[in-house]
């Protein structure tokens, strides 16, 4: 009986640790950008419309997660297409850690890395498909070093994201 109670206690501690983590979801998929409560952020986000019908709203995550230093120097990027939120992205460039990887594995599930390869040297992606969302973690080299990405797309908006990405691809192909 003591083992069962101990297991239940440990489970609740782990569950509460994940629940107390930074809540960067300040908008829901499908919301209009006018519904975003910018005043509550105490920060004026950077808004970048593009030629493909999208608008990225960038917010330093430390303005939302003031007490969670593991997210400092991470950008929250909300992508609105046709004035609907379709993607939530966390972008963490040039940091000598894997805080987004640790967060993603804790929140969405573990994945195996190649045996013998240090976590900081791994490059690649991993995809979780959940009930209402598709989540992708990406670890990639960039010009001056390394970047981590965590992208979350609502399943109801995957077609809209595909059309948006196709437009970007056509434009990139035309610039050869």
pLDDT one-digit tens code per residue, 87-145: 999 999 999 899 999 999 999 999 999 999 998 999 999 999 999 999 999 999 998 89
Per-residue pLDDT, 22: 79
84/2 Cα distance (integer angstroms): 50
* pLDDT band with cut points at 50, 70 and 90 for residue 14: very low
Count how many domains the chain has: 1
Question: What is the domain extent for residue 77?
Answer: 2-174
Per-residue pLDDT, 9: 52
Name the percent of the chain lying above pLDDT 70: 86
pLDDT at 172 over 90: yes
**What's the pLDDT tens digit per position in 40-96?**
667 788 899 999 999 999 999 888 888 888 888 999 999 999 999 999 999 999 998
pTM: 0.82
């Amino acid at each position: 009986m003591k083992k069962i109670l101990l297991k239940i206690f440990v489970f609740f501690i782990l569950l509460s640790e994940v629940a107390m983590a930074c809540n960067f979801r300040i908008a829901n998929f499908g919301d209009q950008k006018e519904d975003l409560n910018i005043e509550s952020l105490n920060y004026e986000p950077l808004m970048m419309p593009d030629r493909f019908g999208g608008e990225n709203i960038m917010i330093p995550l430390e303005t939302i997660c003031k007490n969670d230093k593991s997210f400092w120097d991470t950008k929250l990027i909300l992508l609105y297409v046709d004035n609907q939120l379709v993607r939530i992205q966390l972008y963490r460039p040039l940091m000598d850690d894997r805080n987004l990887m640790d967060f993603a594995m804790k929140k969405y599930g573990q994945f195996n890395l190649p045996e013998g390869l240090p976590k900081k040297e791994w490059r690649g992606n991993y995809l979780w498909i959940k009930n209402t969302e598709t989540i992708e973690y990406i670890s990639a080299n960039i010009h001056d070093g390394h970047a981590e990405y965590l992208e979350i797309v609502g399943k109801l908006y995957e077609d809209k994201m595909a059309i948006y990405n196709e437009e970007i691809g056509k434009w990139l192909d035309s610039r050869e």
